Amino acid sequence: MSPVFSEEEEEEEEEEEEEEEKKKKKEEEEAGRYVREAERKVRSGKYGSARCSIQKALELNPNLDFGFEMLIITETLFYAREITEWEMRKQYGNPYAYSGIDYYSVLHLNSTATISEVKTRCENLSSCLNWGKKRFDGFSFPCASVAVSLIKDANLVLCDQQKHLQFDRARQIWAIVDSPNCGDNLSSKQAYLDWKPPTPTPPTPIVVKKARYISQRVKKPRTDSSHVSNCVNGGSGGERSMEPREDIKKHVFDAMPQTPHYHPLDKYNEKIREGMIQVLKMTYVSLSEEIRHLVDPHSLWSALKGFKEQLSQLEEMGFNVTVLRERLDKLQGIAKCEHPSQVAAEEFKSDIVNEEAKISLVRARIMEFEGDIEKSKVVINNKRTKIEELKMDSVNVVEEFKSLAKSAWK
């Protein structure tokens, strides 16, 4: 037996439904307002505020059209921006200044990510955006093509061995002096924050104000797990320090004791000099390990120029790089012995390709000849059939002639 509702209860239910619809409509309108606000902020370069606006819009309306795509775009732009503090410090001569796009942050990955992980993340982000298709589906958002280009650039840099190595080296100083996991390099980090322009005269009030403003706004590399990272990959992790492990460092300096003088660093103050010494030590250890673990001649040729430049820089600082240079020269000599074999192998491969092309051409001609033979067979069969028909006609004519000759005159 169905329940019986009174008119008052029905009216209350209708009012509740109307209120829910109004609330839903209001939330959708509010979400649309946040989206328009995000578009304005993206155009003005305020990517962090735009990202927050899209997140609020998704909280109000989880079914927002292209909401996730807009979030990916704003987060990509937010993590890829070149922070002005780095440029300002570089302009005033800070040796620790770093300016550029951190592609690990763009893809929400650790610096220890493998090439396969980078490719997977780029494919996932690109498929989520799918800018070529969704543009025709009505999706329009400022700087969407820029976000797609940034993801492609990250893929090109981090999936190429030589570019990846150069990027990591350029990023080393930044990671050391401003990483929350830097451990022993807290003094270097403090040296970065306490740095002042190396001018003999006191700075003007404007410069002092700018320096204080910059010092207050220095940001650390972002290691928080973002919404995009969780949605695309389903996991997160903290950035690992780029400082070599102490056991490796001890092993390298025990095997090759060093007494560098660091004379070119005497022009810097004590804190800056201490930080740069830590960087040079780490560079020496990393370079030693890279040269020691070279097992492929191709990797040697791709990184040889960078190795020689770093050895020269370390030698200027007083490092004894004789052992490293001798090992590098020996590896280079072995790799050169492989070069003639590679040339001969390439020539043989080229000859094989040419011969295979000739074989393919001969086979094509054989097929053409076989086709001509089949056509000729058909023509011959047709001719033979015609001959048989003509023979039958001839026999019929002879028979008819004979029968007519035997008949009497009428």
Indicate if 100 and 152 belong to the same structural domain. Answer: yes
Nearest to 73 by CA among 51, 57, 58: 51
Q: Is residue 356 part of a domain?
A: no
Same domain, 104 and 195: yes
* Structure confidence at residue 19 (pLDDT): 85
Using alpha carbons, list the distances in angstroms from residue 199 to 92, 93, 190, 202, 336: 10, 10, 20, 7, 50
Question: pLDDT tier at 214 (50, 70, 90 boundaries)?
Answer: very low
**Pair 47, 188 in one domain:** no
List the CATH number of the domain containing 215.
1.10.287.110
How confident is the model over 14-26, as a mean pLDDT? Answer: 85
Confidence of residue 177 (pLDDT cuts 50, 70, 90): very low
360 is a domain residue: no
Say whether pLDDT at 187 is over 60: no
Checking if the pLDDT of 231 tops 50, the result is no
311 in a structural domain:
no
Residue 212 pLDDT greater than 50, yes or no: no
In angstroms, what CA-CA distances link 208 with 16, 173, 180, 389, 396? 61, 25, 27, 115, 125
Q: Predicted confidence band at 215 (pLDDT cuts at 50, 70, 90)?
A: very low
Mean pLDDT of 235-257: 60
Q: Does a structural domain hold residue 9?
A: no
225 or 94: which leads in pLDDT? 94
Of 121-125, 211-215, 273-277, highest mean pLDDT? 121-125
Residue whose tokens read 């509702």:
5
In a domain, 339, yes or no: no
Q: What is the pLDDT of residues 315-363, one digit of tens each?
A: 888 888 888 888 888 877 777 766 555 556 666 777 787 788 888 788 8
How many Å apart are CA 319 and CA 169, to the nearest integer? 19
- What was the pLDDT predicted at 173? 52
Identity of the amino acid at 52: C
| Amino acid in the structure at residue 287 | L
Whether residue 58 sits in one domain with residue 23: yes
Residue 225's pLDDT is 37
56 and 190 belong to one structural domain = no
pLDDT at 297: 67
Mean pLDDT on 183-199: 41
Q: Are 47 and 141 in a shared domain?
A: no
Mean pLDDT (the chain) is 72
Q: Determine whether 192 is exposed, middle or buried from the number of CB atoms within 10 Å of its CB (0-12, 13-18, 19+).
A: buried
Residues 44 and 88 in one domain: no
Domain endpoint, select from 39, 64, 89? 64
Radius of gyration of the chain (CA): 39
Who's near 365: CB < 8 A, 6+ residues apart? none
Place 205 in a pLDDT band, splitting at 50, 70 and 90: very low
> Does residue 241 carry a pLDDT above 50?
no
pTM of the model: 0.40
Q: Are 70 and 58 in contact (CB under 8 A)?
A: no
Verify that 172 and 197 share a domain, yes or no: yes
Amino acid 341: pLDDT? 59
Residue 104: count of CB within 10 angstroms of its CB = 23
Q: Same structural domain for residues 153 and 202?
A: yes
Residue 185 belongs to a domain? yes
- Is residue 325 in a domain? no
Select the more confidently predicted residue: 45 or 34.
34
The count of structural domains within the chain is 2
Q: pLDDT digits over 99-157, tens only?
A: 467 788 888 888 888 888 898 888 888 888 775 566 666 677 778 888 888 888 888 98
Quote the CA–CA distance of 269 and 191 in Å, as a whole number.
9
User: Which of 173-177, 200-204, 238-242, 360-364 is least confident?
Assistant: 238-242
Instruction: Give the end of a domain, one of 30, 64, 98.
Output: 64
Q: Which domain holds residue 28?
A: 18-64
Whether residue 262 lies inside any domain: the answer is: no
What is the pLDDT at residue 265?
82
Predicted local distance difference test score (pLDDT) of residue 4: 52
Task: Check whether residue 130 and residue 227 sit in a common domain.
Answer: yes
- Please tell me the predicted confidence (pLDDT) of residue 345: 67
My answer on whether 28 and 107 are in the same domain is: no
Q: Tell me what pLDDT residue 267 has.
A: 78
Residue 327 has a pLDDT of: 83
Q: What CA–CA distances, in Å, run from 112 to 18, 118, 150, 168?
A: 54, 10, 20, 10
Q: Are residues 99 and 56 in the same domain?
A: no
pLDDT, residue 232, reads 41
